[in-house]
Structure 1
Amino acid sequence: MTHAISTADFAPDTAAIAAVIIGVTAFAVAQGLTYPLISLVLEHRSVPQSLIGFNAGCFAAGLGTATFAVGALTRLVRGDRLIVGGLVGCALSLSVFASSDNFWVWCVARFSLGVCVSLIFMLSEAWLNTACPDRLRGRISGLYGAGMCGGFAAGPLAIPLFGTKNGFAFALLAVYVACVAFLTVILTRKARTQPEQAASGALFSFVRRAPLLVGMVAAFAIADIAAISAMPVYFVRLGYSESFAAISVTILALPTALAQPLVGWFLDKTSRSGVALASALIAGLSFIAIPFLESQAAILIAFGIMGTASFSLYTCALTILGERFAGEALVAGSAAFALAYAIGSAAGSSTVGAVMDIYSPAAGPMTAGSVVLAFAVFYGLSLLRSRARSSS
């Protein structure tokens, strides 16, 4: 069964799409480096896993805080300028990691990074869906996902190159993000479209209208945060090197980036809800399989499959959002996605970190996989109920 095209056809706004993809790629490089690097640095300093999870939770708190401010901000400042401001804020936050060793200062910087990243996320997603027609929505969402995953893959490569004992990797990343902000300014001047403003109260209205989409992003967030934050520590505790732990995040992201355009093709040509269900099932089963694998090659293959499937949930949610909603509902939906990601990542980082401390390292991936499988079951049952109602 194929989806129904719900919006008029038009030429895509290539400048806007390029600005969005380049900006989100820069954010992804930052997140791909900071999540494993901060975790490994704090682990090296003998910080308890619970506090490492708290630090990651500060990032999630920043994500959540920004969702409640985006409506007022878009009424005061143009959306494309807010994206540039978010990139500049990311660069400044990263410079703090390079210049300070204080754990609590890092928590504040992580919170600030979360606020800035959330603005980039929400406005980029809304702008992307405004700038492309529905006939290309899945494939453009796939390119967006590929840029994001490519950034996740590239970020951890700085760890083997520059190590974890100084702030050079953070400083280099701050300069890179600042350069991307400048390039984004140039591209936005050529764009024909702008991100929409968000109406007051639209966020919670969207959650009531599309709870399954919000739940899909929350499931992705739990899987994502477990993969890039807790799993590097999981590998170190099992006796693998820090380099292997960092490279595993790259292996997680690289096939994910390459696969997203193909996922986008399936979303445009087949059932979008079917692709989402298959992604959730594969992601959950891959997580659960990892503790039972012994060879490094098998672990990395499972990691790559898990990353591809879990991120496909986000690509599915973004595509279905643009298919079903338009105008200010896109910003509201993107804000709801950011809030769901914040809640999911906060719950995922704290829960997975806690079960690894209390039980064993293997409890981390088992817990994350079980949560994603639970969503898959609920989503599948919801689809069956919808089909039963439509056929009766």
Structure 2
Amino acid sequence: MSEIRMSAATWAGIGTALGCGLIAAVGIAINAPLFALTLDDTGMSATEVGFLMTFAGLAGLLCTPVVPWLMGRFPVKVILGGGLLASSAMFLLYPLTDNIWVWTAIRFGFSTSLTIIFVASEAWFLELAPAHLRGRLLGLYAATFAGGFGIGGFVIAQLGHQGPATPYAGAAIMALATLPLFLFKTPAATRPEGAEAHPSALLARLMIAPALFVPAFAMGAIETSAFNLFPLWVREVGFEDSAAGYLIAASGLGNILLQGPIGMLADRYGRTRTLLGVAIIGFIGPFLLMAVKSPTEAYAICFLWSGCVTGFYTLGLMGLAERFGKGELAGANAAYGGSYGVGQLIAPLAGGTLLQTLGPSGFLAGLAVIALTPICAIAVQHQAQRKS
């Protein structure tokens, strides 16, 4: 195969992986406020809503170890197509019932299928991205992913959370996204073999470089709390329900526009220095939100804050690609997804409890503290290296 043809196929693969990240993010951004606002309409407390939200994180945590096994047995396009169709089916089930426990079970299934899409597409993307462009491409990946959040937030802001229109729109988007998977010729993902395809590969990767996985935890915790509980926060501070969708859209726009610069800064000044700057803004942002007087002010702050917090994920993936080889990436990325899932599991209940007991300011302060965890992990790692 010529270099030109190989390059074209590689870029097609990168574009396909990017598309999967985009559509999966659209699904999350529609699903999270749809679920949270529907639960809140029933009169549930923020703590109860947060508890039911943890099932989404539990789904991700349980299915993540299986993804390397799936990638060792099936082509990555088949895995991604199956995940997208399953997600579409979950959206179609929502209008069939108003039972909250059935909705929670559907959300569990939805999170399972999305986790498979995320982990498989990211492992494929990391394998295809050339080292000299990795920071920029990962910035593009995160920006595309964030664009999905913006699109999803806009969809639910326009269609609302009541009635079947939003679930049907989500189902159509997820189903149509399967078409590009089979339109382009792309390189196959390297299939994990032996121990690398075993669920225990996750623990092995975590033990090699634990600090690399903390940014995923931070991103999972902050993102899940924000996207699931911001709709309740919006009501607590007296804004209209539609502000929740526009808040998510503003956050998504910030994520789109800021990931490229974050990736370029990481390429130029190093991943750790860039991570420090991102963490500082991630810490300050929630305190600025405490002082907002209008939705417009909140949109502007979330544009910058969310864009920087999403940088945790970009920079973490960059470190992952630097540390692990092709055969190890599926297991390493699954461990990364598992760390994200731990954040998803813990944060909604904790955030809901803070929102109910300490009010909006307590909830935001919790988000600020989480933003410091990647820097704390790096500090602990450096201290351990000095002692050894």
- Which TM class, normalised by the smaller chain length? over 0.9
Q: Indicate conservation of the 8 Å contact 1:91/1:174, yes or no.
A: yes
Which residue of the partner structure matches residue 130 of structure 1? 127
1:75 shift after superposition: 2.8
Aligned amino acid, residue 36 of structure 2:
S
Aligned amino acid, residue 287 of structure 1:
P
Which residue of the partner structure matches residue 15 of structure 1? 12
1:266 shift after superposition: 1.7
Which residue of the partner structure matches residue 296 of structure 1? 295
1:276 aligned counterpart, secondary structure = helix
2:97 alignment partner, one of 100, 103, 114: 100
Which residue of the partner structure matches residue 6 of structure 1? none
Matches within 5 A, 1:244-259: 244-259=243-258
Which residue of the partner structure matches residue 217 of structure 2? 218
2:359 aligned counterpart, secondary structure = coil
Which residue of the partner structure matches residue 42 of structure 2? 45
1:169 alignment partner, one of 163, 166, 170: 166
User: Using the alignment, how far apart are the partners of 2:384 and 2:249 within structure 1?
Assistant: 39
Which residue of the partner structure matches residue 193 of structure 1? 188
Which residue of the partner structure matches residue 3 of structure 1? none
User: Using the alignment, how far apart are the partners of 1:112 and 1:101 within structure 2?
Assistant: 17
Unaligned runs of 5+ in 1: 1-9
Q: Indicate conservation of the 8 Å contact 1:24/1:124, yes or no.
A: yes
Which residue of the partner structure matches residue 317 of structure 1? 316
Q: After TM superposition, which residue ranges in structure 1, 4 or more long, deviate above 6 angstroms?
A: none
User: Using the alignment, how far apart are the partners of 2:212 and 2:130 within structure 1?
Assistant: 20
Aligned residues: 378
User: Using the alignment, how far apart are the partners of 1:100 and 1:19 within structure 2?
Assistant: 34
1:47 shift after superposition: 2.3
User: Using the alignment, how far apart are the partners of 1:108 and 1:328 within structure 2?
Assistant: 34
Q: Indicate conservation of the 8 Å contact 1:20/1:127, yes or no.
A: yes
Unaligned runs of 5+ in 2: 1-5
- Per the normalisation by structure 1, the TM-score is 0.91
Which residue of the partner structure matches residue 277 of structure 2? 278
1:36 alignment partner, one of 33, 49, 63: 33
Aligned amino acid, residue 366 of structure 1:
A
Which residue of the partner structure matches residue 204 of structure 2? 205
- Per the normalisation by structure 2, the TM-score is 0.92
Aligned amino acid, residue 167 of structure 2:
F
Q: Indicate conservation of the 8 Å contact 1:90/1:113, yes or no.
A: yes
1:380 shift after superposition: 4.2
Q: Taking structure 1 as reference, are residues 378 and 326 closer, same or farther at Cα in structure 2, changes over 3 Å only? A: closer
Which residue of the partner structure matches residue 179 of structure 2? 182
1:383 shift after superposition: 4.7
Q: Indicate conservation of the 8 Å contact 1:126/1:196, yes or no.
A: no
Is the aligned partner of 1:83 residue 2:85?
Answer: no
Which residue of the partner structure matches residue 73 of structure 1? 70
1:385 shift after superposition: 6.8
Q: Spell out, residue by residue over 1:279-322, the C-alpha distance to the aligned partner (whole angstroms, 9 max, x if none).
A: 12211221233113334333222211210111000000111111
Q: Indicate conservation of the 8 Å contact 1:196/1:327, yes or no.
A: no
Q: Spell out, residue by residue over 1:300-347, the C-alpha distance to the aligned partner (whole angstroms, 9 max, x if none).
A: 222112101110000001111112211231111111111111110111
Q: Spell out, residue by residue over 1:346-372, the C-alpha distance to the aligned partner (whole angstroms, 9 max, x if none).
A: 111110001111221221111111122
2:239 aligned counterpart, secondary structure = coil
Aligned amino acid, residue 124 of structure 2:
W
Point out the more displaced range, 371-380 or 231-240: 371-380
Which residue of the partner structure matches residue 370 of structure 2? 371
